[in-house]
Amino acid sequence: MTTKSKTGHWTQSTPLYLDYQATTPTDPRVVDAMMPYWTDKFGNPHSRNHHYGWEAEDAVEKARESVASLIGANPKEIIFTSGATESNNLAIKGVARFYGDKKNHIITCVTEHKCVLETCRYLEHDGFDVTYLHVKENGLIDLDELKAAITDKTAIVSIMAVNNEIGVIQPLKEIGAICREAGVFFHTDAAQATGKIPLDVNEMNIDLMSISGHKFYGPMGIGALFVRRKPRVRLVPIIHGGGQERGMRSGTLPTPLVVGLGVAAEIAAKEMTAEAERLHGLRKRMLDGLQSRLPEIYVNGDLENRIPGNLNISFAYVEGEGLMMGIKELAVSSGSACTSASLEPSYVLRALGVEEEMAHTSLRLGLGRFTTEEEVDYAVERIASEVTRLREMSPLWDMAQAGIDIKSIKWAEH
Amino acid sequence: MAYSKELIDHYENPRNVGSMDESENNIGTGLVGAPACGDVMKLQIKVGADGIIEDAKFKTFGCGSAIASSSLVTEWVKGKTLDEAATIKNTDIAQELALPPVKIHCSVLAEDAIKAAVSDYKEKTGKKGNAAAE
């Protein structure tokens, strides 16, 4: 967390954290709840014949109820995993392997997280057909395109609830209705949505849902997969062993992490509404502040259908990574990829139709539970002054001011 | 990624930011890179009657390494002849700023910018020299 010195400036050793979509700090209440399970209550929850095992098992089952309750599921439908990457792998590979003989088609979307896209690519090598739906300019899928893509060979539709870069919320209820009517399983990667927006697996007709602990103030290394019982979804497991988690995910459950996930879910259920309202206010303050100080900045992705803690902005004519170096007092993320060998900017922004040159100028600003109004004001001031400084140094800004269209210039792409 | 003191200094206190009148005969302008790749450098040199580079200015759209590389080369080219300036190598720039491997392209671009500015000046003045590069 950031600390302020007496002069009102954040100390350089602890930059202001504005990257809540990358991870969130574990809530101290979560840590407190976890503590006894490392030392005193250290039993193996699968030990059925003594106090230590029973104690751990009780804690695990209580956490299962909390997680289930947050998404309107039955506790028996919650499988604990190591995180959303594993959950996504298990959901998609598991369904594909179980139903693959008869149904070998998967539908997903181009802006999904890499762990969904790479899982689908892997299955393509194994002979599955995958349809990658495009997104509209606002980052949302076209429901008619989804309907048209479903065939009698489609086993599963996997569409993320909330995008990790631009924070947009896909129309889950509508997607669920389409899938249910077509008799196709609907999986959603809800890593960025859980605890941020209300989710109800029955109302939304969701059959599988991936959850990550550290994205909503729980610990890293723990996640969950919701697997519907009625109508029943069957999976071929990825990890084989002692048959824990109804045989779908073998391995001893990490009791402290599971307890942490459960408490994170309880806190989210209680505080989500108030927190969302507060974050809406902070985001508006940040965007208004930046827009009042800077011309030619553009929000990427739909601003209405979006979690309140996310902003993704292109600061035209200023390269994102150069900007990040100038605002080192802030911990943020960029859609630019100047460090990658390919030099290709964010595939998510490109999928929205954001031009490459604009994708290179983007920053992702993530607000969360511990962000304050004062911090937002400080961030606005730092970003606005640095963008101004770098624009004065930018040949593209000069050209734009002189009325030259940078697209009219024949650039030598390197 | 940890950047060198030299690089951070050039990024935070860039030397010779600015523009000179392109239409002047004694000014050579190089514009290299592409917005789609995330790097554009504009380097300008002002050449005296004796063929020595009197002044240099730059403007750069890019990451910190690109800005620092352009700032550095504006310092280096001053006081050099055109042929001397055109011998500045990207490896010298990369070494001076301790650029990490993923940032080597920034130094390549800075070398290209010098060559482009020299070549522009020579074309303008009709002095096609052997050091002129594409």
Q: Are A356 and A337 in contact (CB under 8 A)?
A: no
pLDDT tens digit sequence for A343-359: 678 899 999 999 988 99
pLDDT at A12: 56
Same domain for A113 and A157, yes or no, is: yes
Same domain for A20 and A44, yes or no, is: no
Same domain for A85 and A208, yes or no, is: yes
**Overall average pLDDT of the B28-36 stretch:** 93
Same domain for A263 and A369, yes or no, is: no
In a domain, A2, yes or no: no
Which of these, A211, A203, A166, A414, lies nearest to A314 by C-alpha position? A166
In a domain, A412, yes or no: no
pLDDT at A343: 61
Same domain for A123 and A232, yes or no, is: yes
Same domain for A42 and A21, yes or no, is: no
Looking at CA atoms only, how far is residue A346 from chain B in angstroms? 12
In a domain, A151, yes or no: yes
Cα-based distances in Å from A155 to A28, A97, A108: 41, 10, 11
Same domain for A40 and A175, yes or no, is: yes
How many angstroms separate the first and last alpha carbons of chain B?
Answer: 34
Q: Which of A217, A243, A268 is the last residue before a domain boundary? A: A268
Question: Which positions ≥6 away from A58 have C-beta within 8 Å?
Answer: none
Encode burial over A70-82: b for 16+ CB neighbours within 10 A, e otherwise.
Answer: bbebbeebbbbbb
User: With contacts defined as CB-CB under 8 Å, which chain B residues touch A356?
Assistant: 35-37
Cα three-residue angle B100-A113-A262, rounded to 5 degrees: 110
Confidence of residue B6 (pLDDT cuts 50, 70, 90): very high
SS3 A377: helix
A-B Cβ pairs (cutoff 8 Å, strict): 99
Confidence of residue A7 (pLDDT cuts 50, 70, 90): very low
Confidence of residue A411 (pLDDT cuts 50, 70, 90): confident
Q: Please, what's the largest Cα pairwise distance for chain B?
A: 45
CA separation for the pair A189, A108 (Å, rounded): 11
Same domain for A264 and A342, yes or no, is: no
Active site residue A120: no
Same domain for A21 and A32, yes or no, is: no
Task: Report the percent of chain A where pLDDT is more than 90.
Answer: 89
Same domain for A258 and A118, yes or no, is: yes
Which of these, A315, A288, A294, A380, lies nearest to A323 by C-alpha position? A315
Same domain for A227 and A127, yes or no, is: yes
Active site residue B37: yes
Q: Which of B7, B66, B106, B110 is catalytic?
A: B106
Q: Are A338 and B38 in contact (CB under 8 A)?
A: yes
* CB-CB under 8 Å, A360 with B38: yes
CATH code of the domain in which A282 resides: 3.90.1150.10
DSSP state of A208: E
CATH code of the domain in which A121 resides: 3.40.640.10
Same domain for A183 and A305, yes or no, is: no
Q: Which of A243, A268, A293 is the last residue before a domain boundary? A: A268
Confidence of residue A337 (pLDDT cuts 50, 70, 90): low
CA separation for the pair A108, A118 (Å, rounded): 11
SS3 A143: helix
Looking at CA atoms only, how far is residue B41 from chain A in angstroms? 7
Residue to mutate among A336, A356, A360, with most B CBs inside 10 A, is A360
User: With contacts defined as CB-CB under 8 Å, which chain A residues touch B64?
Assistant: 321-322, 325-326
Which of these, A157, A380, A138, lies nearest to A282 by C-alpha position? A380
Structure token pair of residue A361: 């100028």
CA separation for the pair A169, A108 (Å, rounded): 15
CA separation for the pair B49, B52 (Å, rounded): 7
pLDDT at residue A263 above 60? yes
Q: Give the ranges where chain B is alpha helix by DSSP (H).
A: 5-12, 64-77, 82-85, 90-97, 104-125
Instruction: Give the mean pLDDT of chain A.
Output: 94
CA separation for the pair B60, B71 (Å, rounded): 9
pLDDT at A408: 84
CA separation for the pair A80, A248 (Å, rounded): 10
In a domain, A411, yes or no: no
pLDDT at B2: 80
pLDDT tens digit sequence for B51-97: 999 999 999 999 999 999 999 999 999 999 999 999 999 999 999 99
A375: containing domain: 16-25+272-404
Q: Which stretch of A88-92, A177-181, A360-364 has the lowest confidence by average pLDDT?
A: A360-364
Which residue of A lies nearest to B35 if distances are taken between CA atoms?
Answer: A357
Task: Report the percent of chain B where pLDDT is more than 90.
Answer: 86
Residue A177 contacts B, CB cutoff 8 Å? no
**Overall average pLDDT of the A251-265 stretch:** 98
pLDDT tens digit sequence for A307-325: 999 999 999 999 999 999 9
- The distance from CA A286 to its chain's CA centroid, rounded to whole angstroms, is 21
**Overall average pLDDT of the A284-301 stretch:** 98
Q: Which stretch of A11-20, A110-119, B24-33 has the lowest confidence by average pLDDT?
A: A11-20
pLDDT at A11: 59
Residue A318 contacts B, CB cutoff 8 Å? yes
pLDDT at residue B130 above 90? no
Confidence of residue A329 (pLDDT cuts 50, 70, 90): very high
CB-count burial class (<10 Å; 0-12, 13-18, 19+) for A410: exposed
User: With contacts defined as CB-CB under 8 Å, which chain B residues touch A345?
Assistant: 38
Is the four-CA dihedral A107, A110, A111, A116 of positive or negative sign? positive
pLDDT tens digit sequence for A27-61: 999 999 999 999 999 999 999 999 999 999 999 99
pLDDT at residue B41 above 80? yes
Which residue of B lies nearest to A325 if distances are taken between CA atoms?
Answer: B64
- The distance from CA B35 to its chain's CA centroid, rounded to whole angstroms, is 17
pLDDT at B132: 42
pLDDT tens digit sequence for A59-81: 999 999 999 999 999 999 999 99
CATH architecture assignment, domain B5-124: Alpha-Beta Complex (3.90)
Residue B131 contacts A, CB cutoff 8 Å? no
Q: Which of A268, A298, A314 is the last residue before a domain boundary? A: A268
In a domain, A343, yes or no: yes
